[in-house]
A = this chain, B = another copy of it.
Amino acid sequence: MVDAVIVGSTGLDDIETPFGKVQSALGGAAIYASYAASFFCKPGIVSIAGKDFPKEHITLLKKRAIDTTGLTIAGKTFRWGGLYEYDMNEAKTLKTELNAMKEFNPAVPPSYRDTDYLFLANIDPALQLRALEQMRHPKFIVMDTMNFWIEHREEILRSVIKKVHALVINDGEARQLFKTTNLVTAASKALSLGPKFVIIKKGEHGALLFSDGIHFSAGGYPLENIKDPTGCGDSFGGGFIGYLAKTNDLSEQNVRKAIVYGSVIASFNAEDFSLKRLQSITGADIEARFKDFRAMREF
């Protein structure tokens, strides 16, 4: 049994930022999200990696008690190359080699199917749907997406949005999908499709939560040291669902807390390349920054 199922990509990334670069570094939405969730609960991943995927990465996941039963090994690992300039809110994609991701057909292992919490990280919405349909009675489904699917799979993307409890989406993508510059309007349109919660991620500026008649604003955590924002959105989503799965409390109040925990994990993630920073933090570090988050907002 796992506490949260996380569906998404596993990859090896070449990343360059003004603060350094890495090659073939561990990455992918399912990896960042499950690693983030593992601070709160036992996640199980549904993903695909190639035969070239280093064993040490699997060891790393297992050390965090991440269930890898749902990780298929076939072909070559998905590879992504990105460059960040001084405005680190946006990456310039230098290469995308889908490789095994092209053949990815998510198979949710039987041992995962009764899980209450499901995170559909950013992949083709057709695959998100296929994973979702294999779950028996998910209590809380969270999905992420990106501009590519908005441009190429809008219809099926909308049909997946109708089936989830929470949509997590970037500000630019929310504007694009709902054809408005105004985030409040975009959120209303998203809510009208069905989700109870819409969370708009604004990169370093934090995240906004919208639900029926309410909004919640979690500002970004001001970082002295930002090295690599890759995976921040995924680790936000993973921390978010991980905290909800741990507490099993879906009240709006607890959803707000989950957003802050997600933001805390994402803020650590930006402080180093790949999963390096997340590998060095403890539960005490997370609690300390959570408290600081609260203190920096009191008035």
Residue ranges of A at the interface with B (Cβ–Cβ < 8 Å): 18, 86-88, 181-185, 202, 205-206, 208, 214-220, 222-226, 253, 256-257, 259-260, 294, 296-299
Contact = CB atoms under 8 A, between A and B. Distances in A.
Contacts of A225: 182
A184 to B, nearest CB: 4
A234 B294 CA distance: 28
Q: What copy number does this chain have within its complex?
A: 2
A290 to B, nearest CB: 9
Given A205-B202, A205-B205, A208-B222, A217 B182 contact: no
A299 B185 contact: no
Contacts of A223: 182, 184
A144 to B, nearest CB: 20
A294 B294 CA distance: 12
B206 A298 contact: no
A296 B218 CA distance: 9
Nearest to A181: B86
Nearest to A185: B224
Contact of A217 (B86, B215, B297): B297
Contacts of A181: 18, 86-88
B299 A222 contact: no
Contact of A219 (B206, B224, B256): B206
Contacts of A214: 296
A88 B223 CA distance: 26
Nearest to A88: B181
List the 7 shortest-distance A-B pairs measured between CB atoms, nearest first.
A217-B219, A256-B299, A205-B205, A184-B224, A219-B219, A86-B181, A184-B222
Given A183-B222, A184-B224, A299 B259 contact: yes
